Chains A and B, each alone.
Chain A
Amino acid sequence: MSESAVLVDAAVAGQRRSRLTGNGRPLWSAAVLLAAALVAMPVIAVVVDGLGSLNSGSIPQDIGSMVLVTVLLLVGVGAGTLLIGGGLAWLVTAYDFPLRKTLSWALVLPLAMPAYILGFVFLSTFDVGGPVQAGLRAVLGPGAWLPDVRTLAGAVVVLSLTLYPYVYLLARSALVEQSATTYDAARTLGAGRARTLWRVVLPLARPSLAAALALVMMETLTDFATVQYFNVQTVSVGVYLVWKGTFDFNAATQLSVLVLLFAVAVLGGERLLRGRSRFHQKPGRGEGLQPRKLTGWTRWVASLACLGVLGLGFILPVVQLIGWAAGEALASSEPLVDPRFAEYLVNSVTVALLVAVVCAGLALVTGHAQRLGGGPVVATAAQVTTFGYAVPGAVIGIGVLIAFARVDGWLESAGVPGGTGLLVTGSVAGILVAYVVRFLAPAYQAVDASFAKISPALTSSALSLGATPRRLLARVHLPLARRGVAVALALVAIDAVKELPIVLLLRPFGFTTVSVWVYELARENFWEKAALPALGIIAVAVIPVYFLFRRSAGLQAGAVTHAR
């Protein structure tokens, strides 16, 4: 998910220095302001329209239960990820047991498992018709009471299993890097291992944990596909159902304002939890926490705990999907690949490539313009371009719809015949815009990390040698930032292929992507048919996890890599 890049960036941040070179160039600065305006547009549209329609009176009736369910879901997933992610991070850092090395990175893999895929695999296994309940009924008799899995608890379990890696990664880096020297200092001052954990390590890790929780809750808030499998009605689901069911603009807008309030509350909560501590301690040198070797049966318990989570969150679902796909291939007389698959794949890939190119391009322009100076305005605008990741999908979707409707209205009143019907026919454009808003953050962070490695003196030299800003970009900045641009392209393209909520909300009739197809097949219980495309999505999604892992491994080594 798009936050993988955000996570890595949290580790790199703090090494920032002033690297402005010059006084800003109006055109390049304007481009950054434009990008910022694009990102801010959906939120502004939702807020303005939402406030404007407050007294129009069409507030949905079940709003109270939606809010309650949302709160419960956020709290549940937060607690679940904290327990799983934090616990596993502590286990692999503080103890040594069989397979620890392998498990310590493999535990990140569920990041590549979209919740809407794990969700349907989970349901197929544990729901009324699934093998588990069938088996239990065979043992206990047909009338035995069995728990209903299509509940809030089921959603919490599935979301926790896919989202815990965020907590795991940040907690682990906090345990390993941030507190190494402090840990050593505490131990030399006579504090024991446990006391050091409670008094030094945890307080130091608190900001990281808060950041991770915020990421988890944002992802939870954005989702309105997975939770629908479980009949859980959050406010985001409300937006989707109201819009798709009744096309009631006002009600959808008011609900998105509510979603936005939740997002603000989550970010505010993170600030509060973080307190005044500014984290990003310098990764100091030190032994830090040394894993203690577990002996006897406890070591196998530790291995099993890790394997269990990994199995539930990644291995078993993948095995199940492979099984279905294989069964489908062997059994059915139909062609192996559904002919529509090709069409949907083309849709997915086209959208993903377009969005990736636009995002990487905007990110490059933003980094370049910032290098050319422009002062606090451009710097602020560049920060604004990264806010999209913190805006829930429902808000972006409705915001884009409102904005498009407005543009439509203006065009119509400006005398363009028939208005253009942007709202309906232009919705693929709407999907593109919404994706750019959402995925500009990881693109910018990847490109910005590359720019940070380009010495400002290089920029100054090129300018003094007579290079115009455009030549500077083509001959110096782009070649030197190419790695960041490549990472940005890959991350955004992959995120776009995986993305489901926005495309569900904005897609015009008849426009289907692979992710939508998987979701629809799964909703109709055609699990076997959904297996192959789902595996495709997972395979693609493993790539950024690999990037993430390599980059964080590089950070841990603290190696000063040569620019070339």
Chain B
Amino acid sequence: MRGEVVNVSTALTLSGVSRRYGAIAAATSLDLTVAPGEMLTVIGPSGCGKSTMLRMIAGLERPDSGTITIAGDVVADRRNFQEPERRRVGLVFQDHALFPNLTVAKNVAFGLNRLSLPERRKRVAEVLELVRLDHLAARYPHELSGGEQQRVAVARALAPRPAVVLLDEPFSSLDETLRGRVRADIVAVLKETGTTSLLVTHDQTEALSVGDRVVVMHDGVIEQADTPEKVFEQPATRFVASFMGDADFLPANVHNALLTCEIGVVSTVPGWANCDVDVDVVLRPHEVALAPDPGASARVVSLEYRGAFVLHYVRLASGRTLRSWQPHHVRYAPGTAVTVTVASGTSPTLLVDDRAVTEPPIGIAGHALQAPEPFPIPTSR
């Protein structure tokens, strides 16, 4: 937890939330705090527990242990369990889940049955205008395009002014061309209304580009919950590094603040003076530079043309493979001998036992007297 955040009221808190299905731990001790108005993207491989987390927040699933708080109300803990209809949580699904027997306006009004009729009409018009679909109020869902259906689904979820909106892979049923536009529309609406939201996705680019913060899950555990930049540039674990973008790992050594691995000196590590530690260094393809050199021992093995750039696979003397992005006009034929270096200015992530370290591990280190380096990695647990 981030201890220094002084009790600003939070929109959603999970603490120690766990759920098992028989022998399978779908969620293990999840801790998460979401500030009002924040948009979080949740990502992980299938079966990582992201849907379980969503279902527990919505009240469709009861946690085995832990506490869930929504807008200050405890909705689930050891004693209490609030049913979904009393939680003020909005849900948006991949298949839109509009009521096929109701018009657009009636779909949107479904959650407003406690309002008086004029109020209800006003609110329906409001949210439909928000998603720019006021002209389709009388249509039935099957008369709308996929993108329009999804906008209605968002309008319907927003209508009762929920404390938090959960979107479960809302764009994955839309085709590629439509997707970007619908996503931009919907994200704009959520931001405009200051809605707290959790958006589950399996698309890394989507997770990084849309979220104020990105929650990466794996095997029922939150591996990292942080800004997109930090998740990408300072992954907290080996899994996050390899899941969020391409990453290669090389065994390396830090000796007297100097990070060295097979390809030579990578960088200096401030604060790691007086120590001699074995680590793994995380190298992303854009950080790896190549230069043809007939005398070098590394060889280009294969190329993948990716449009804007060409991904080069390079085999090092040890047999390990590194990947390197080269501008699209640069192609080193397979077999070319190259020297491999790390682009200047890179300060790569170091891993010990699959976790990122920012200071010399206790016990191995000599003295770590200086203040920690400028990028403390907040771990979410």
Which residues of A are at the interface with B, using a C-beta cutoff of 8 A?
A: 21-23, 25, 455, 457-458, 460-468, 471, 475-476, 479-480, 562-564
Contacts and interface: CB of A to CB of B under 8 A. Distances in A.
Nearest to B109: A465
B285 interface: no
18 contacts: A21-B60, A23-B62, A457-B91, A457-B94, A463-B59, A463-B84, A464-B58, A464-B59, A464-B85, A464-B91, A465-B160, A466-B86, A466-B111, A466-B114, A467-B110, A467-B111, A475-B110, A563-B142
Nearest to B93: A457
Interface in B289-345: none
A523 B168 CA distance: 66
Interface string B96-113: 010111000000001101
B130 to A, nearest CB: 17
> Looking at B81, B89, B100, which has the most chain A CB atoms within 10 Å of its CB?
B100
Contact of A455 (B97, B113, B114, B157): B97
Contacts of A564: 100-101, 140, 142
A464 B97 contact: no
Contacts of A21: 60
Contacts of B101: 476, 479-480, 564
A466 B160 contact: yes
Given A21-B60, A22-B60, A475-B110, A463 B83 contact: yes
B18 to A, nearest CB: 16
A468 B85 contact: yes
A310 B288 CA distance: 80
Interface residues on B, range: 20 to 34
B97 A460 contact: yes
Contacts of B140: 564
Nearest to A24: B62
B97 A458 contact: yes
Given A563-B100, A564-B142, A460 B84 contact: yes
A457 B114 CA distance: 22
B372 to A, nearest CB: 43
Contacts of B142: 562-564
B156 interface: yes
Nearest to A469: B85
Given A23-B62, A466-B111, A480 B100 contact: yes
Nearest to A373: B60
Given A476-B99, A479-B101, A466 B60 contact: no
A468 B83 CA distance: 9
A464 B100 contact: no
A463 B89 CA distance: 10
A217 B380 CA distance: 64
B110 A23 contact: no
Interface of B: 58-62, 81, 83-87, 89-91, 93-95, 97, 99-101, 110-111, 113-114, 140, 142, 153, 156-157, 160, 162, 168
B93 A461 contact: yes
B59 A22 contact: yes
Nearest to B165: A464
Given A458-B99, A464-B157, A467-B113, 10 more contacts: A23-B81, A457-B95, A457-B97, A460-B58, A465-B157, A467-B111, A476-B101, A563-B100, A563-B142, A564-B101
A239 to B, nearest CB: 45
Which 4 residue pairs of A and B lie closest in terms of their CB atoms, listed nearest first? A465-B111, A457-B97, A457-B93, A463-B84
Nearest to B142: A564
B59 A455 contact: no
Contacts of B93: 455, 457, 460-461
A460 B91 contact: yes
Nearest to B162: A464
A462 B110 contact: yes
Contacts of B84: 22, 460, 463-464
B60 A455 contact: no
Nearest to B153: A461
A458 B93 CA distance: 9
A455 B156 contact: no
A466 B97 contact: no
Nearest to B156: A465
Contacts of A471: 113
A389 to B, nearest CB: 31
A464 B75 CA distance: 13
Contacts of A455: 93, 95, 97
Contacts of B87: 464
A463 B90 CA distance: 10
| A457, A462, A471, A564: residue with the most chain B Cβ atoms closer than 10 Å | A457
Nearest to B99: A476
Contact of A466 (B81, B99, B113): B113
A402 B11 CA distance: 60
Nearest to B54: A460
A118 B111 CA distance: 57
A461 B97 contact: yes
A465 B60 CA distance: 13
A460 B111 contact: no
Contacts of B156: 461, 465
B124 to A, nearest CB: 13
Contacts of B111: 464-467
A466 B84 CA distance: 7
A464 B111 CA distance: 8
Residue of A21, A455, A466, A564 with most partner-chain B CB within 10 A: A466
A468 B111 CA distance: 11
Contacts of B90: 464-465
Contacts of B86: 466
A465 B157 CA distance: 7
Contacts of B83: 22-23, 25, 463
A562 B143 CA distance: 12
Nearest to B168: A457
A475 to B, nearest CB: 7
A25 B85 CA distance: 12
A460 B83 CA distance: 11
A22 B99 CA distance: 19
Nearest to B61: A23
Central interface residue in B60, B93, B142, by most chain A CB within 10 Å: B60
Central interface residue in A460, A461, A468, by most chain B CB within 10 Å: A461
B99 to A, nearest CB: 6
Contacts of B61: 22-23
Contacts of B81: 23
Q: Which of B84, B93, B113, B160 has the most CB of A within 10 A?
A: B84
A479 B89 CA distance: 24
A480 B87 CA distance: 25
A23 B81 CA distance: 10
Given A23-B61, A475-B110, A564-B142, A464 B89 contact: yes
A25 B90 CA distance: 21
B128 to A, nearest CB: 16
A269 B95 CA distance: 44
Contact of B60 (A25, A463, A475, A563): A463
B7 to A, nearest CB: 28
A7 B146 CA distance: 36
Nearest to B159: A465
A194 B90 CA distance: 60
A485 to B, nearest CB: 14
Contacts of A25: 83
A363 to B, nearest CB: 20
Contacts of A23: 59-62, 81, 83
A23 B99 CA distance: 22
A465 B100 CA distance: 16
Given A476-B99, A562-B142, A466 B62 contact: no
Contacts of A460: 58, 60, 84, 91, 93, 97
A480 B157 CA distance: 21
Given A21-B60, A457-B93, A461-B91, A466 B100 contact: no
